[in-house]
Every structure is written in C-alpha cells, then in structure tokens.
Chains A and B, each alone.
Chain A
C-alpha cells in the first residue's frame, strides 16, 4: 500500500529535483508517444532538446533564437509572479502585451519618418505605460468595487484584441500597404526599431530587459521589505494586514508592475522580431507566460530557466515537425506532458511517499 504523508515543511531537495524529474518523465512518456506514431523516439527527443542547441547546421541560428523566443515569456512571467505570490491573479497579460505594443508602435509611427534619438526611448516608456494602463483597469475595479481581477483582466484581453484589429485596419495601417491591414514595418524605420544588437546573437533590448527584470525581481524578493510584504500577503493575508501591508496599494502595485512589464514585452516584440502591428500580432505569450511563471515556481531564477525551456520545446518542436514529419498536435501534446508531469511530481516536495499501512493511533 502506498500512501502520502505530508511533510512538515516542503523538501528543499525535491523542490530542486522535481523539474529535472519532470523533464525525464516527459522524455519517457513522449518517447512512447513518438514510438506509437512510428517515429524513432530517440531521434525525436534528440531533435527537440539537443539539435536546437548543438546541431551543426541549425544551432548557430537557433541558439540565439532561444533568447528571442524566451525574452517576452520571461519578462511577462516575472511581472506575473509578483502578483501570483501575493494572491493577485492577473490573467490578462496578453491584453497588456497588445496594448503596450500598440501604444509604443503608435508613438514611434507618429514621428515617421523623423530620425530623432529620443523616439525609441519614448516608445519604451509608451509601451510600459500602455500595459500599465490596461492592468490598472482591473486593478482599480478590484480595489474600488471588489470585482474579480481574474475575470476582468481576462475579458480585457478580448477588448485589446479588437482594438488591435481596428488599429491595424485603420489608424496604424500602412498608407503604402496597398489597402492591406497592418502597420509600417518598424524594422525598416531605424529610429523606432529594436534590432539585433550584435548580428547572430539574438540579443535585442527585450532580452536585456528580461535579464534586468530577473535580477530586479530577485533583489526585490530577497532583500526588500516590499518583497517580504508580497510574500506575506500571499501566505498569510491577515498577518500581512497586522504587519502594516496596505492591500489596496499592493494590488495596484503588483498589477501595475505586471502590466508594465507585459507592455514592455509587447513593445520590444513589435519593434523587433515581429516588426509590425498586424491583426494577429499576439501569439499567446501572455498566456504561455502564466505557465512559465508556475513552471519556474514563481522564483525569478526559476522563471529564467523555465522560459528558456519553453522556448527550447517550441523551437525543437518546430525542428521535429519538419525534420521528422511529426504532427504539430504531437508536439503540443509533448509540451502538455511537461507541464502535467511538473505539477504531478510537485507533490513530492510537499508529501513523503510511505509504503505500508499507517498504524492507527490509539
């Protein structure tokens, strides 16, 4: 008989070991699935996890692409993790990401074709502001009218998507685009673009911002009274109140930070890799970042690694699709397994597995 026994405190060993165990279990279960699909499981696993990093033909291109793909995920997830720790659930990062991109790109395009040094910095400010404003709506509705920020922030995503399509068809449409939707390409407008800084490295301002956010969040949570308040509010709300934490202020702050970071991610993406505003500019980074935040255990360093791992499964998954002819659905199932096993083995950090019957206390 197997039973679970709650640990008095989470096991430090297992907290570190479970992500690794989850990856191993995913490889085994995924390998079985690939084998069932008639593919060599070792080839498939190698293509997903190894080739993007070390394949002689692809790696020089796909290694930097990992950073490009991971940067927005990390940037958004860091912001979200602060709120999640404090029990403030911002689910609408996707909308804040869109609004940041729209406002930032809008500011840049307003100056077109001027070539002034302050355009890009101004766009960065506008991008953060756009995301911040969009997050403030559910935040203020919660603090003022006690609405549920999960619902409101999620619904704001759909509003943002509609504004995005309206903007790409109207105000921001490229006047030289022959009537097609979508804005001018910012990568062809040097004063407003966020290019790769050193060719072949994938480094752009978004990557740097993501790394800075990781460091800042680490310091905040480890060394700053605010970080203590955030953690306390999540673990013991009433104790937090006695300790003088202002719940209203904390909601506004956490929502604001996560909104601003999501907005920044949107701005760096639109000015860099995506290049332009278009109807389907958003591809779900805001939602995937929620997974990244939990995958990284709401810990800044964990999020950095989780973001890179997610990016690896995306890029490796793409390689596996066209190199081995694996269906897209199998790759999605594989990514799903990773999350499933992570949550499942998470049990080990809080519980001990015991064999044999428990003796009843008399």
Chain B
C-alpha cells in the first residue's frame, strides 16, 4: 500500500493530522456495505464497483455478507442512507462517489467502530475513514494517443462530468498525448454536470459530433456516448469508460478504461477479517492492476495499437509517467520543467488546463 497521505494533505492545505489506527483483533464475519451513485446496471462506474463487491463473496464465501443501495443522491440523502446502513450492522461501508465525501465523514464521526471507505475523495477527518482512488489519468494517456492517431478531422472531444481535479486531470492527460502524436489536434470539452444521466450524456456526445469531433472520450457512467457514436456508421469512435463496454466492440468502442476495484475490496475486507486493517489513502493505477486497458480492437491500425500497448507497459513498469515535463499551463506559464514528473499533490488539486486546450474550466 502506498501512503501518499502527507503529499496530498500538504498540497491541499488541509492540515489533516491523523495516525493509522490498527484494529488489533480480526473478525469472524464481515458485513460489507456499498453506496452507489447510479444503478448497478449502468454498465459503467457503478457496475464495476458492484463487480468488486460480488468478488468479495466469491473470495470469502460465508465470511462476508454484502448489502448495497443504488441511486443514492450525493447530499442530505446520503447521510441518512449511511446512518441506516451503520445501524443495520455493517462493519465496513464503501461510499463510491466523490459527492459522498462530507456525509461519509459526518456519519463516521458517530460510528467510530465502523470502517468507512470513501472513493475518490480526500477528507479523512476521523481515524475510521479511509480514501481510495485509481489513477485513471494513466488510461487517459493511452486513449489520447489512440485519439490523436485516429482522428481524421483533427477534432477530438471529451465529455466531462464535473470540473473537479480528477476529471481535469483526465482531460489534460488525454489532450497531451493526442497532441504529442498529432500537433494539429483540437480538443472540445462538453460538461454534462452529472455522473449518470444517459439522456444528457447522449446530448453531450451529439453536441461534440455536430462540431465535427470524431473521437469521443467520456467521464460519465453510462454507455450513451458510445450508443450515439454508433449511429454514425463508423465515422465517430469512442472508448469504454469505467467498464469495458464490450457490446460496442470493435467500433465505435476501440478500447476502454476498466476500473478494477475487486483487488482493493478483497484486500481491505481481508484485512478486516485478519485484524491488520489500517486507515489508508490509496491511489493505485495500471501497475497495481486497479486500472486496466480494455482490448484495443482491430478498428485501430496495428502500429497504433502496438504503440498504445507499449505505453501501457511502460506505465505498468513504472518507466513512464503521463505527466512528464516540459508541460506549460494554459496561460503559458511553466508547470513542469523538462524531465520533471508531476507531484501527486499537483494532480490531486489540478484546476487548470495545459497549454493548447481552448476554453475555460467552468467557474
């Protein structure tokens, strides 16, 4: 487990102080509960979390009981759902969307004996709150490479969910790697302001296609953008997001980022069972298998596919970091000098576009 707590905390200026608290004794049986922002049938983000949850039962059998709740809004309702879960006897509760950050910490304060694990957030205000995330920007680099090579109109698109650092990070990584192989490439970003809303996601994809975009990456949870691309008879391609979305193979879905949460869930619940559980801030990526690159289909020329796979392997081996200087910010000021690698703290608080992206991050 990599502990990046200090870095992230310092960068965000939160000044959180905590120490890992080990629970000395193991448990005979664990009830693991999951809070989902979408339906488990979204075939994207929530689907993948649920696959991870099911893997727990596969691995531990009778020693684990899972319970979950779908479609929980990120706000006051989440607090009630969490409290009811805590009251129902859950030992560990995974809250799987960014917007559950405050409710998770609030409820965790009232139930110090229950472990809370918040995905993609940064607040660990109590010793029983851990955070975990995946380095999706590593996958975005590979998508950017493919996009830069594949676009015929030199216009590529990105459907953003919310303008938070995690998404901005993905946009920058995608653009940088497209630009590297195609200096003429232009990026259009559309903000959907939702995680899961197939209608809005489809509208965003339509808007991009109307602008002449022919490669679409999305940061939302449904397959709607791919469904929209599929209507263009091969003129527009895209990527599976969060899950493989293999139904859209070989085109428009030419590759995908797969969030593989199972190893993390299995590890954490295992630690709870054997008594080695500690508070963590986990941020794993391609090297640890938490981010996987779905099959690159034959719609992509063999040489491009080979290059993309080489990049994946370099990231996996730790020899390549997608944010390696020289990189300037959008306003032209220097962010990373030649050869410098982005510190995690910069990434976790990223609120700027890199040089070359037009438009502003919504403010």
What is the interface of chain A, defined by CB distance below 8 A to chain B?
Answer: 57-58, 61-62, 65, 68-69, 165-166, 169-170, 176, 178-181, 185, 269, 273-276, 278-281, 283, 315, 318-319, 321-323, 325, 327-329
Contact = CB atoms under 8 A, between A and B. Distances in A.
A276 B12 contact: no
Nearest to A280: B74
Given A181-B162, A278-B74, 6 more contacts: A57-B89, A69-B80, A176-B13, A278-B99, A321-B69, A322-B67
Nearest to B361: A169
A319 B165 CA distance: 34
A286 B266 CA distance: 41
Given A275-B102, A280-B74, A323-B67, A181 B85 contact: no
B362 A322 contact: no
A165 B349 CA distance: 19
A283 B163 contact: no
Contact of A181 (B75, B79, B84, B163): B163
B298 interface: no
B320 interface: no
Nearest to B164: A180
Nearest to B101: A180
A95 B32 CA distance: 38
B349 A323 contact: no
Pick from B13, B33, B75, B102 the residue with the most CB of A within 10 Å: B75
Contact of A322 (B68, B348, B349): B68
**Taking chain B's interface residues, is the majority helix, strand, or loop, or is none over half, making it mixed?**
loop
A181 B74 CA distance: 13
Contact of B163 (A68, A169, A276): A169
A319 B350 contact: no
A322 B77 CA distance: 14
A79 B226 CA distance: 43
Interface in B62-111: 67-71, 73-77, 79-81, 83-85, 87-89, 99, 102
Contact of A328 (B71, B193, B351, B363): B71
B154 to A, nearest CB: 30
A178 B102 CA distance: 14
A321 B75 CA distance: 18
Given A169-B163, A274-B75, A179 B362 contact: no
Contacts of B76: 68, 269, 273-275, 283
Contacts of B80: 62, 65, 68-69, 315, 318
A61 B85 CA distance: 11
Contacts, number: 96
B122 interface: yes
Interface string B331-363: 000000000000000001111000000000011
B165 A179 contact: yes
A280 B99 contact: yes
Given A322-B69, A322-B85, A179 B349 contact: yes
A179 B84 contact: no
Contact of B14 (A178, A321, A322): A178
A273 B81 CA distance: 13
**Taking chain A's interface residues, is the majority helix, strand, or loop, or is none over half, making it mixed?**
loop
A57 to B, nearest CB: 6
A153 B171 CA distance: 36
A171 to B, nearest CB: 9
Contacts of B39: 327-329
B363 to A, nearest CB: 4
A327 B70 contact: yes
A187 to B, nearest CB: 8
A70 B351 CA distance: 38
Given A166-B363, A279-B162, A280-B99, A318 B74 contact: no
Contacts of B69: 318, 321-322, 328
B13 A178 contact: yes
Contacts of B67: 322-323, 325
B75 A179 contact: no
Contacts of A325: 67-68
Nearest to A273: B76
Contacts of B193: 165, 279-280
Contact of B84 (A62, A68, A178, A279): A62
Q: When A and B form their complex, which 9 residue pairs have the shortest distance between CB atoms, in order from nearest?
A: A273-B76, A178-B12, A179-B351, A328-B70, A170-B363, A328-B71, A274-B76, A322-B67, A283-B73
Contact of B102 (A69, A276, A281): A276
Contacts of B348: 178
B362 A58 contact: no
Nearest to B66: A325
Given A61-B84, A169-B363, A322-B84, A180 B165 contact: yes
A108 B70 CA distance: 34
Contacts of A280: 73-75, 99, 193-194
Contacts of B71: 328
A65 B71 CA distance: 19
Contacts of A278: 74-75, 99
Contact of B88 (A57, A166, A273, A281): A57
Interface string B46-76: 0000000000000000000001111101111
A275 B348 CA distance: 24
Contact of A58 (B88, B122, B164, B194): B88
A322 B87 contact: no
14 contacts: A57-B87, A62-B84, A176-B13, A179-B349, A269-B76, A273-B79, A276-B102, A278-B75, A280-B193, A280-B194, A319-B84, A322-B67, A322-B85, A322-B88
A280 B89 CA distance: 29
Nearest to A173: B363
Contacts of A327: 39-40, 70
A180 B85 CA distance: 27
A315 B165 CA distance: 33
A58 B79 contact: no
Interface in B1-30: 12-14
Contacts of A58: 84, 87-88
Pick from A185, A283, A318 the residue with the most CB of B within 10 Å: A318
A280 B71 CA distance: 13
Contacts of A62: 80, 84
A283 B77 contact: yes
